[in-house]
């Protein structure tokens, strides 16, 4: 007995003293618990805060084969999950009957294929099935578990999908902003460690170690969701009519190079990226095209800057012989247009004119310098990965001559937009910006991305002149290849392009890339848009027929959305049906519903009052109006109304609005309201407005007949006069774009329009 006690005491001493620390740590691990706190990935939103990508709660399904088979629920579980999740019964059976190497059933099997990151609605169905099965079989557990997790969700689905990018099933950033800004968007997971009792309840006085999760930063893009919608809508119309291999469009603010929209077709839904993953390719920065005649804008800018372009100088069109080149370079119209001016050569998109300007007058070195300064052959620096540089072949005389009109040149759409924006904004090449700001939710600090000037490439005077020349490519309805982009009331500059595709190292006579690029208004550019269409199904159509109408649609809606007033009034007696619009009847509708109808029509509006129902509208429902006409929605009685912004409104509309509000209008000048000021005169509230006539097509104030109209409006207050709508107009795209059809018999030097 003594020996036994000595042994026990020795053992106790050994365990408690000699190896006490070791066993204490083992015990501590047993009563300690640790949980990971998952950080949220930052959101991606447009410039107005509309969310494009976000984390949302999702559910992962797992099964317990041991419980399922012990309770005899195998077939019930297979049938139920097959119906809810759509997983094949073979796959379900493999998971539900999974065994270890020793032949016993496993206790947990994740349903990675089909049961991972499911939505709440599906999870609710599984819960209901689990509860019903438990009651039916009278068991406490049926072996189906649901665990919460976070999933990346894209609420706008296909909209801006190639730009935003996506995460794969494992949460890895694959493309777009998701990949380029993965470091900023990714958060840092936290954890909590605590001590628990035998029932896994946290000890009140136990040790606690806590590290909070740090959520990812939120990225706001420069994208405007409404303009993005206009662009995607226009591309879908092109796809519907011409079934191209792909179509890409970019809209940007030329003064900052903030990207307002970037879209590609075919589209894909990043929520279901596995269905058409190949469509996630962003052609805007990753595809190279021969630009064709849109590249002539750069050659023209260089020629004007160097003083070698005289718009009135005459030359012989049709073809031109270059020393060392066996075959002549021809215009798209093989016989040419006779002896014409260089300005007409621009309108007709004559290759010969640009060979003379670029190859003969500017020469190789100056051409190379200008093309380089405009950003070609190098990355633009846009904050997106996998951008290509493109190239310009300048080794032989033929390559130099061809480059002047866009052949033998490979560019990305984003390079084209940056270059033409420089022509539009006064000569400054800017780095394209796709991110407007980045906000850290932890520190509440926001970093704003400012416009970045790369270099001055041409003078402001050259920029102005080139804009005026390009405007005539659009406005001249007889000669201009860009006439289908004409918007009545606005000054629009632009250029068409049609380039033969290289197939098996030879230029194809049946496959083309057609495009249009332009900006508006010419005197104060607010938007530049480029549309490129790869292989439309009709080989005889050019950029003027395929891309120019889409450009017109996008720009007109965007200018209306921006509230940009027309440059000059249109002839309301000759307002073409194509550009008139019927004002919807909105009276008695809820404000939200009225706003939705106007947005669907692309019409601008202003709410007058804070009511929830439209009591009256100006202009009246059912009346015809110019698309740029602002619609005023009156939502309160006159005694409660505030004075709305009347800038850009005609005198007659201003009279009607102020009459409704119950305030006296005192006008000064003629035309449209340019400023307003509320004052008190003899204890009576009055509104003084200054009016000015809009610019005419020649850029001068057009005050014809304004005086008599203004006087009549003041005396009669007749708001029903159809002549009172002088807010501008939009023109029809007449004609079919003569000279645009590709000549299938042209030699390999023929390109464009």
Catalytic site residues? 293
Contacts of 449 (CB under 8 A, 6+ apart): 433, 435, 436, 437, 438
CA distance 180 to 160: 15
CA distance 500 to 398: 16
CA distance 693 to 708: 13
End-to-end CA distance of the chain: 113
Beta pairing partners, 624: 582
Q: Is the dihedral of CA 654, 657, 660, 665 positive or negative?
A: negative
DSSP calls for 56-124: EEEEEEEE-HHHHHHTT-HHHHHHHHHHHH---HHHHHHHHT-B-TTSPBPS-EE-TTTSSSB-HHHHH
CA distance 583 to 581: 6
Closest alpha carbon to 393 in 414, 352, 423, 364: 364
What stretch of H or E contains 343?
Answer: helix 342-348
Q: Is 358 helix (H, G, I), strand (E, B) or coil?
A: helix
Contacts of 362 (CB under 8 A, 6+ apart): 299, 302, 303, 306, 308, 370
Closest alpha carbon to 717 in 621, 628, 644, 651: 651
CA distance 322 to 12: 105
């Amino acid at each position: 007995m003594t020996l036994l006690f000595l042994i026990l005491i020795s053992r106790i001493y050994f365990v408690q003293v000699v190896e006490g620390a070791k066993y204490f740590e083992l015990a501590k691990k047993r009563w300690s618990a640790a949980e990971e706190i998952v950080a949220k990935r930052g959101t991606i939103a447009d410039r107005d805060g509309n969310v494009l990508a976000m984390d949302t709660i999702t559910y992962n399904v797992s099964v317990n084969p041991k419980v399922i088979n012990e309770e005899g629920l195998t077939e019930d579980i297979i049938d139920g999950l097959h119906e809810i999740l759509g997983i094949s019964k073979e796959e379900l059976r493999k998971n539900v009957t999974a065994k270890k190497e020793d032949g016993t059933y496993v206790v947990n099997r994740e349903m990675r294929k089909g049961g991972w990151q499911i939505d709440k609605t599906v999870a609710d169905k599984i819960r209901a099935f689990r509860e019903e099965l438990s009651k039916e079989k009278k068991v406490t557990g049926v072996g189906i578990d649901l665990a919460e997790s976070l999933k990346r969700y894209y609420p706008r689905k296909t909209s801006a999908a190639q730009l935003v990018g996506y995460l794969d099933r494992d949460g890895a950033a694959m493309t777009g902003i998701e990949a380029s800004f993965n470091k900023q968007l990714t958060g840092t997971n936290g954890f909590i460690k605590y001590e628990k009792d035998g029932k896994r309840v946290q000890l009140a006085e136990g040790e606690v170690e806590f590290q909070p999760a740090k959520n990812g930063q939120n990225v706001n893009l420069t994208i405007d969701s409404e303009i993005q919608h206009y662009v995607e809508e226009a591309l879908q119309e092109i796809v519907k009519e011409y079934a191209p291999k792909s179509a890409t469009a970019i809209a940007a603010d030329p003064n900052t190079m903030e990207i307002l929209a970037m879209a590609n077709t075919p589209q894909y839904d990043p929520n279901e990226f596995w269905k058409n993953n190949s469509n996630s390719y962003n052609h805007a920065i990753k595809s190279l095209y021969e630009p064709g005649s849109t590249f002539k804008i750069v050659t023209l800018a260089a020629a004007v800057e160097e003083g070698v372009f005289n718009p009135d100088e005459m030359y012989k069109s049709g073809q031109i012989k270059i020393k060392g080149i066996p075959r002549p370079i021809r215009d798209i119209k093989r016989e040419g247009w006779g002896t014409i001016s260089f300005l007409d050569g621009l309108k007709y998109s004559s290759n010969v004119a640009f060979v003379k300007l670029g190859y003969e007058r500017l020469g190789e070195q100056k051409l190379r310098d200008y093309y380089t300064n405009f950003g070609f052959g190098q990355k633009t620096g846009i904050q997106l990965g996998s951008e290509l540089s493109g190239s310009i072949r300048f080794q032989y005389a033929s390559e130099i001559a061809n480059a002047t009109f866009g052949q033998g040149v490979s560019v990305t759409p984003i390079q084209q937009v940056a270059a033409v924006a420089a022509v539009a904004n006064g000569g400054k090449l800017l780095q394209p910006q796709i991110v407007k700001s980045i906000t850290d939710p932890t520190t509440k600090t926001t970093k704003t991305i400012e416009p970045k000037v790369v270099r001055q490439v041409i003078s402001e005077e050259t920029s102005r002149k080139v804009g005026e020349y390009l405007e005539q490519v659009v406005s001249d309805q007889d000669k201009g290849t860009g006439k289908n982009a004409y918007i009545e009331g606005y000054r629009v500059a632009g250029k068409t392009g049609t380039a033969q595709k290289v197939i098996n190292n030879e230029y194809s006579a049946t496959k083309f890339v057609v495009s249009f690029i332009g900006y508006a208004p010419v005197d104060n550019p607010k938007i530049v848009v480029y549309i490129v269409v790869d292989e439309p199904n009709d080989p005889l159509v050019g950029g003027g027929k395929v891309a120019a109408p889409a450009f017109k649609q996008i720009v007109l809606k965007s200018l209306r959305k921006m509230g940009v007033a027309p440059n000059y009034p249109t002839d309301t007696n000759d307002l073409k049906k194509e550009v008139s619009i019927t004002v919807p009847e909105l009276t008695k509708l809820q404000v939200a519903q009225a706003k939705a109808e106007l947005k669907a029509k692309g019409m601008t509006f202003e709410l007058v009052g804070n009511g929830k129902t439209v009591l009256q509208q100006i202009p009246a429902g059912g009346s015809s109006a110019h698309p740029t006409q602002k619609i005023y929605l009156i939502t309160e009685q006159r005694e409660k109304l505030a004075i709305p912004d009347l800038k850009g409104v005609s005198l007659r509309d201003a009279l009607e609005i102020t009459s409704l509000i119950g305030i006296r209008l005192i006008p000064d000048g003629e035309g449209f309201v340019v400023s307003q000021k509320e004052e008190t005169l003899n204890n009576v509230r009055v509104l003084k407005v200054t009016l000015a006539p809009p610019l005419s097509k020649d850029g001068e104030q057009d005050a014809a007949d304004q005086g008599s109209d203004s006087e009549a409006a003041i005396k009669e207050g007749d708001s029903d006069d159809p002549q009172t709508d002088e807010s501008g107009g939009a023109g029809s795209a007449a004609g079919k774009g003569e000279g645009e059809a590709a000549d299938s018999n042209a030699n390999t030097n023929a390109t464009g329009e």
